[in-house]
Amino acid sequence: MKFLVLIAAFFCFGMSATAQETGPIHLAAAEARPTPPGATSGVVYLIVMNHGTTDDTLSSVATPIADSASMHKTTYDNGIMKMEPVAAIPLKANGAISFQPNGLHIMLTGLKQQLKIGDSFPITLNFAAAGAVTTTVKVERVTGKQEHDMGAMPGMKM
């Protein structure tokens, strides 16, 4: 009986230590679009979730495969699409932010390599409270609704 209690205690403490190490911020569905040879910019989409009890702020992004990475949002003004940089993005407790086509996205400029389908690379998101959170971005083909959305914007296919 003592053995089962020890195993249960070890399992519970092990799980809580793992949860504390990952923190409240979780990143999911991190994808980049493939780029043509010689392209100097790319885009990353992902979902950012705050499972914590306090608000946080996403203040910057970085990746080793580009000279710079920055947050942008797509806006429309009288039918004209514009991309504007975003300095910081608030993230509510138990909230989420979706970086997706025609909305918030991460722009990579000064790419150091072509982004090819099947490749992957790290990206780090820096938060005011949670600190740096890194995930792996997979380079994937645009599919479904995203393909339609991107195709609807002349000159914006990636």
pLDDT in tens, 23-56: 899 999 999 999 999 999 999 999 999 999 999 9
HEC-encoded secondary structure of 39-98: CCEEEEEEEEEECCCCCEEEEEEECCCEEEEEEEEEEEECCEEEEEECCCEEECCCCEEE
Tokens of 35: 């780029």
pLDDT at 76: 87
Instruction: State yes or no: pLDDT of 113 exceeds 80.
Output: yes
Confidence class of residue 75 from pLDDT cuts 50, 70 and 90? Answer: confident
Instruction: State yes or no: pLDDT of 15 exceeds 60.
Output: no
109: three-class secondary structure by DSSP:
strand
Distance CA 107, CA 157 (A): 14
Q: Residue type for 38, please?
A: G
Instruction: State yes or no: pLDDT of 17 exceeds 90.
Output: no
Q: From 2.60.40.1890, 2.120.10.30, 3.40.50.2300, 2.40.110.10, which CATH number describes the 24-142 domain?
A: 2.60.40.1890
Residues β-bridged to residue 70: 107
Determine contact, residues 104/86, Cβ cutoff 8 Å: yes
Q: Domain coordinates of the chain in residue numbers?
A: 24-142
